[in-house]
């Protein structure tokens, strides 16, 4: 079963393996299969579920809401996000303006079939809206009872500091950041993690298996597996391309096999367990297209990787690891 961790400097506990439905529900996976994956997550003790209004242009929220229908709401932690365009993509259908936030939270609640979300997240930083306006809108969302906590996603250390200070002044907590993080993608370690630790902000990390690269299913010199994310033209292929284009990455991943075997883990389980060694990480988000993938990935919960094996992982991956903190800032568009 899955362990739980506090989210930021708050009393809220979430499952350290969190189920997310980006690139799956409403697009890659049929609804029946998506529901089966959610049931597998619940059976494994996962109580935290992450989605966003933009995933499959709102359909992912609908699928998740239907899959969780009938569950005791108090036993779940439901997260969603706001920023990216939804609907007809008009001038106010994106960003973190007060208008977009207030309209988006109501839409998300309706699709998720709930009166509130446990965590409402700014999906990116909005350079076109004053931060004061954004944080005031989030404060009002919290006071209205539509969200219990506020988080962000892919914000830089300076942006997190500024948002945290405004949240404190407005009487609510900024408790989390949702960045990409894996043994291959460590750009948050230099600046974001130290700032977050200081402020009491946790990381809820996405892509702990580096879009599937760290599972070992992509073999050096071999054709891409049929039906894999790397062959998905709906968006999956673009997200994984960066790792596949790096020289020797696939061989280095295969070289991790003895480390995983020593711990009694698969490569995918090793990758998820690795991100959970970082004490600033509250949860690793996993996705799935089949229930058995959920069942396997939750075995990473509670695993402790000895220091000598963490060092060996670093040595094996070597210069394939991306660490530049500047990569975070590239994730938020300069304009809407």
Q: What is the pLDDT of residues 276-305, one digit of tens each?
A: 999 999 999 999 889 999 999 999 999 999
Q: How high is the mean pLDDT of the chain? A: 93
Known catalytic residue: 55? Answer: yes
Q: Give the pLDDT band (50/70/90) at residue 42.
A: very high
Q: What's the whole-number mean pLDDT along residues 149-156? A: 98
* Residue 67, C-beta contacts closer than 8 angstroms, at least 6 positions apart: 34, 35, 38, 39
Residue pLDDT, tens place only, 184-234: 999 999 999 999 999 999 999 999 999 999 999 999 876 766 555 555 565
237 occurs within a structural domain: yes
Q: What is the pLDDT of residue 187?
A: 98
Q: Which residue has the higher pLDDT, 222 or 112?
A: 112
- The closest alpha carbon to 4, from 282, 250, 328, 219, belongs to 282
Tokens of 78: 């439901």
Total-model pTM: 0.94
| Long-range contacts (CB closer than 8 Å, 24 or more residues apart) made by 233-242 | 234/23, 234/27, 234/28, 235/23, 235/27, 236/23, 236/28, 236/211, 239/23, 239/207, 239/211, 240/210, 240/211, 240/212, 240/213
Mean pLDDT of 233-248: 71
HEC letters along 167-229: HHHHCCCEEEECCECCCCECCCCCCHHHHHHHHCCEEEEECCCHHHHHHCCCCCCCCCCCCCH
* Angle formed by the axes of helices 31-43 and 59-67, nearest 10°: 50
Q: What is the Cα Rg of the chain in Å?
A: 19
For residues 93-99, give the mean pLDDT. Answer: 97
Domain assignment of residue 245, given as a range: 4-329
CATH code of the domain in which 24 resides: 3.20.20.100
Catalytic annotation, pick one of 55, 83, 149, 181:
55
Is residue 181 in a domain?
yes
Q: What is the pLDDT of residues 323-333, one digit of tens each?
A: 999 999 998 88
Which H/E stretch holds residue 133? helix 131-143
pLDDT for the residue 241: 75
Residue 86, helix vs strand vs coil: coil
The single-letter DSSP state of residue 56 is: G
Residue 334 lies in a domain: no
Residue 212 lies in a domain: yes
Whether 336 is in a domain gets the answer no
Query: Could you tell me the pLDDT band of residue 23, with boundaries at 50, 70 and 90?
Result: low
Domain count, the chain: 1
Residue 108 lies in a domain: yes
The C-alpha torsion from 139 through 143 and 149 to 152, rounded to 10°, is -20
């Amino acid at each position: 079963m899955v362990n739980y961790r506090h989210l930021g400097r708050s009393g809220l506990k979430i499952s350290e393996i969190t189920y997310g439905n980006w690139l799956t529900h409403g697009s890659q996976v049929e609804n029946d299969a998506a529901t089966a994956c959610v049931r597998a997550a619940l059976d494994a003790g996962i109580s935290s579920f992450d989605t966003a209004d933009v995933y499959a242009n709102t359909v992912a929220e609908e699928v998740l809401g239907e899959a969780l229908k009938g569950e005791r709401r108090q036993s779940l932690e439901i997260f969603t996000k706001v920023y990216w365009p939804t609907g007809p993509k008009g001038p106010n259908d994106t960003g973190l303006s007060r208008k977009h936030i207030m309209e988006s939270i109501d839409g998300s609640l309706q699709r998720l079939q709930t009166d509130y979300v446990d965590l409402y997240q700014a999906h990116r930083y909005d350079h076109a809206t004053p931060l004061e306006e954004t944080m005031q809108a989030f404060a009002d969302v919290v006071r209205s009872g539509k969200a219990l906590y506020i988080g962000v996603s892919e914000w830089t250390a300076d942006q997190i500091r500024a948002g945290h200070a405004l949240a404190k002044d407005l009487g609510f907590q900024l408790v989390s950041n949702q960045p990409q993080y894996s043994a291959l993608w460590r750009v948050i370690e230099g600046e974001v993690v130290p700032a977050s630790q200081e402020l009491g902000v946790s990381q809820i990390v996405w892509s702990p298996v580096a879009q599937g690269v760290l599972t070992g299913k992509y073999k050096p010199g071999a054709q891409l597996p049929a039906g894999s994310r790397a062959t998905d033209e709906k968006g999956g292929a673009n997200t994984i391309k960066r790792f596949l284009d790096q020289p020797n990455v696939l061989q280095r991943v295969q070289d991790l096999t003895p480390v995983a075997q020593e711990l009694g883990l698969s490569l995918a389980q090793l990758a998820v367990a690795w991100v959970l060694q970082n004490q600033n990480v509250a949860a690793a988000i996993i996705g799935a297209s089949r229930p058995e993938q959920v069942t396997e990935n939750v075995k990473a919960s509670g695993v402790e990787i000895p220091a000598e094996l963490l060092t060996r992982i670093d040595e094996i991956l070597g210069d394939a690891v991306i660490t530049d903190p500047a990569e975070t800032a590239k994730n938020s568009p300069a304009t809407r």
